[in-house]
Structure 1
């Protein structure tokens, strides 16, 4: 399909975000299971409820825009999942395992923030209802908070 308008671009990006969030539910569970420390497991387990809320907000956007909720895969997300699968097999040292888990989580959150930034920009340009932008901004805020928690863990580990 050829994209010829900002609306079509928005629709595609929303479907990619929806797919990413659904994948993130499993990804965070896998990362929590792969973590060596309770602290890292808690970081990912604690974000599960946020991810469910984010999926609900995306489904609200689909409804407001009279769209059928639909996922569109992304090679970037599939690559991130492949990266997670590879590290689980290769990394045995607990400290390295936690570091790798956090790094994959941070890549994921940055990807999510980038998608949300693009969607917020397009939603504003397209004059979508305020609820659409508010839902996107709330999702972005939660992703930013999750990223900051992961960064704090790395900073603490570096100091220790």
Structure 2
């Protein structure tokens, strides 16, 4: 299956420009890096809406609070991504993230199908951790690409977000084990 970026002409121009910059190692990754940045920016914007809805459906105060905290953190991630774009001389433009759309559609389905409070919270945590794992994978790849191309500022900013995503995943596991996945 061939993947076509949202704006192939623009990305090809950027890739050619990057390849011509002799001081950038691994310039062949630039187009992929930019496409992934746009994808994760789109994902983070979609996640803002999903987290609000998940927070309203959560029964546990701890889970609701975790969703609200991650919502505020996601707003910071978006701002940080804007800085990443600026650090590589690009304007921050998102593209539709099909993966996040799917993950949030699954979360929506969970919210519609489970009414029992304890089961719903456990299901919401599972859905949220799927989102976190997607974000961890995305940011992990972006950090690697940034490092390979010597985009130090971008790598540092992306690494901060990667660590926050990992921390959120751990926090969700703790809530699951202390509240949602145990009999009351």
The normalised TM-score by structure 1 is 0.93
Q: Deviations over 1:95-132 (max 9, x none)?
A: 0110111111111111001000100110011111x221
Any residues of structure 2 matched to 1:71-110 within 5 Å, and which? 71-110=94-133
CA contact (8 A) 2:47 2:104 kept: no
Which entry has the higher C-alpha Rg, 1 or 2?
A: 2
What CA deviation, in whole Å up to 9, does each residue of 1:55-76 have, x standing for no partner? Answer: 1110001111111111112221
Aligned partner of 2:22 in structure 1 is none
Structure 2: runs of 5 or more not aligned: 16-27
Pick 1 or 2: higher relative contact order, CA cutoff 8 A, min separation 6.
1
What TM-score, normalized to structure 2? 0.81
The alignment status of 1:156 with 2:163, answered yes or no, reads no
| Helix, strand or coil at the partner of 2:174 | helix
- Equivalent position to 1:119, from 133, 137, 142: 142
CA distance in 1 between partners of 2:61 and 2:178 (Å): 15
Equivalences for 1:127-138 in 2 at 5 Å? 127-128=150-151, 130-138=152-160
| RMSD across aligned positions (CA) | 1.5
Q: Distance in 2 between matches of 1:48 and 1:92?
A: 24
**Structure 1 unaligned blocks of 5 or more:** none
- Deviating 4+ runs (over 6 angstroms): none
**For 1:159 and 1:41, how far apart are their aligned partners in 2?**
17
Q: How many residues align?
A: 159
